[in-house]
A and B are shown apart, each in its own frame.
Chain A
Amino acid sequence: MSKNLTERRADIVFAIVLMALGLGAVIVGMKIPPSRFDPLGSGVVPALMGGGLVALALLVLASALTSFKIGDGDRLFTGLDDMGEETPSLPRAVGAFAWTLIYAVSLEFRLVPYWASTFVYMAALVLALAPHSKRSYGMTVVVSGLCAVALDLIFRNVLSIDLP
């Protein structure tokens, strides 16, 4: 699938989501009654913002469907993309995000002490990103352990924050 087609499809989905969001803001905003001291009401401005979003979403949709461009060619920089070899890896980013969610869940439910969950989170993430060797395992354990304990000590003892 060409990049152009993928971008256009993404734009269409984006426009639909924006329209839903904008319409939601309009509907919820208009439901809020004005108060005695504020005849305009606290829902009017969000409703106006929602209306603006719907209008802009329509422009994005029109642009995606008809190839009508609005300021899309404004990139100031091109040609500096030969700075090095880059290997895009979407799975790596998605995997890291999912792992961060699991880390947050462990903190939310206080399954293990903060330092332990942070150590496991960091070590696993580093190992997932690093080439594996005996040396890298050792380094990972030492650095992750030091970071986790240091953060725990700083936040709990110095800043007096009750970490999960």
Chain B
Amino acid sequence: MKQKYRGKKLFLLFLIMGLSLFYGDFYGNSLPIEQAQLIIIIDFNDFMCFSCLDSFVEFCQSLPLHSKDGKVCGVLVVNEADETDLSFKIVEKKLRGFISANNIKFPVLIDNLHIFNPLAEDGTVIILFNHRGKCIKKYLFPLKREQKADILGALKD
């Protein structure tokens, strides 16, 4: 389940910074993406499958409060084929409801440029950066207990 990505952090960060410049988060703030240690890529299809979201929501609620400090960031990916201006706005509204109902504290942006779609081919995933930026791990949901401990441990460090 766990894969390693090397040397891609800068590329990903660059892309996300670009996205954040374009869109910001739902509260109109620009996103402190460059500090992010953890990026959660949320597959919009999982929004229609509430059991798929369960593990994800549980994980989000276990994140320490410092996720507000920009260490954690979410990106919602939508299917290119389904996208129109109206459907994008509908997705935005649903995400707003989801964030509020699940008390999610970190910023989430919508990737309507579809840059992250390939990373979410297997559903909602977590991409973890270590503090040196040399190693990236990818975790798929549902998370195993030790994977969750890994991630939370890395955030503490």
- A and B associate in one complex: no
